[in-house]
Structures are given as structure tokens and as C-alpha cells.
Amino acid sequence: ALLELSGVHEVKGTWMGSTTVPCTYMPSEGFTQQTLTWSMERDYSTSTIFRRDDSGDHVLLSQFRDRVSVPKQSSGNISLLIEKLEIPDSGHYTCRVIWKSTNNSLITKEVTTAVKVVKVAVTKPVIRATEPGLAFPAGAKASLTCVASGSPPIRYRWFRGAPGGRALLLGSGPELAWDSLRPADAGTYYCEAENR
């Protein structure tokens, strides 16, 4: 029986997102997995991040605590899930497995994957405008919605008045709503969207 680990050459992840570094093998009769270690090489130094053995799963580096895990349910899938990615998580990750055969000999295999963490391009908010000049009957329910695309988080503010002039702040959500419109509600309203 041939035990081979399979992985990929490179994985990209987005800053603050999550990524999976694949590592799998076909379980084979007569061989049991003794230990699994995931290590990371960065700036010419290698550290073990994760170890699975008879005593359970252990995360050995504090900067990865609560951020890395390996699936438990399927025996041949030992991929590493990294969550809340940080830029320093970029590096070379090695999956190393030691199996024990029925005659007590040990087999070791490893596979290395480059992980690149990239920042998302930051974009300023762009507002999709509704058609200007809406007419409603008095007493009607009505709402104005502000939808902006761009890098989150986006904060919204609704004003009554004209941009650049004297304006009254009415709300701080994407929607401005009325339960029952009065004639005095007629006027000009505008929305501001802001992100970092």
C-alpha cells in the first residue's frame, strides 16, 4: 500500500478572512496515523503550529491559538484551516504525518504549501441613487434607502436640507422611514456614506 500526502503548491488568503491549506491522503489498511504536525517556515526559521497525537490536538504557537484547526471527522483529510488571517501568516506550511504499520515500522511523509495573505483593495463608498423627486400621498408609509458599495464598515447618515447648506441630521442608518407622512415632511433629503 502506498501512502502519499497530496497538497497544493500555493494558497492565497485575504487579510481577516480564512483559508484552508489542503493536505489529504487515502487511508490504507494496516497503517494507523500516529502523529500529524503542521509547521510554518518564515524568515528562515521553522516553528510547529499544530500537533495531533494520541493525547489530542494541540496548538503550539500562541499567535495561532483559536485561529487554526484540522477536521476531525474524516481520517484522510488533515487540511489546516486558518481563520482571521494576519499578514504575518504568510509563509511555507508543511504537513507532516507519521504512520505506524502492523509490523510496527514507521512511515513519514510531508508536503509543503506556500501561503500568501493579501490585503483587499480599499475603495471609497459609492452611493447608488434612487430616482430624484418622489411623490407620496399624505398619511402614507414611506422610506428612503441609501445603498453604498465600498470597503466595510460603511456608516450612513440621513439629512434634511441641501448638501453644503444648513441641514438637519435625521438618522444614522441606511434607511429613513416614516409611518405616516405629513405635508410638513415634504422637502429635500440626502444621504452620506462614510468608511475608513
Please give the span between the terminal C-alpha atoms of the chain, in angstroms, as a whole number.
Answer: 56
Domain stop point among 97, 118, 139: 118
For residues 46 and 135, state if they share a domain. Answer: no
Output the nine-digit C-alpha cell for 152.
466595510
User: Do 160 and 170 meet the contact criterion of CB atoms below 8 Å apart?
Assistant: yes
Residue type (1 letter), 10: E
Domain stop point among 100, 118, 136: 118
Residue 140, number of CB atoms within 10 A of its CB: 10
The pLDDT of residue 127: 76
For residues 133 and 113, state if they share a domain. Answer: no
For residues 113 and 60, state if they share a domain. Answer: yes
Output the nine-digit C-alpha cell for 118.
493579501
For residues 183 and 145, state if they share a domain. Answer: yes
For residues 138 and 108, state if they share a domain. Answer: no
The pLDDT of residue 145: 85
DSSP 9: S
The pLDDT of residue 52: 96
Cα 63 to Cα 40: distance, rounded to the nearest angstrom: 12
Domain stop point among 94, 118, 142: 118
* The total number of structural domains that make up the chain: 2
**Average pLDDT along the chain, 196 residues, taken 10 residues at a time:** 86 91 93 95 92 95 94 89 94 96 93 92 72 82 83 85 84 89 90 86
The domain in which residue 97 lies consists of 5-118
Cβ burial 103-132 (10 Å sphere, 16+ → b, else e): eeeeeeeebbbebebeeeeeeebebeeeee
For residues 94 and 147, state if they share a domain. Answer: no
Cell numbers 475603495 correspond to 123
CATH for 50: 2.60.40.10
For residues 108 and 147, state if they share a domain. Answer: no
For residues 13 and 105, state if they share a domain. Answer: yes
Q: What's the 3-state SS for 36-89?
A: EEEEEEECCEEEEEEEEECCEEEECCHHHCCCEECCCCCCCECCEEECCCCHHH
The pLDDT of residue 55: 95
For residues 91 and 148, state if they share a domain. Answer: no
For residues 144 and 101, state if they share a domain. Answer: no
Q: Is the pTM of this model over 0.75?
A: no
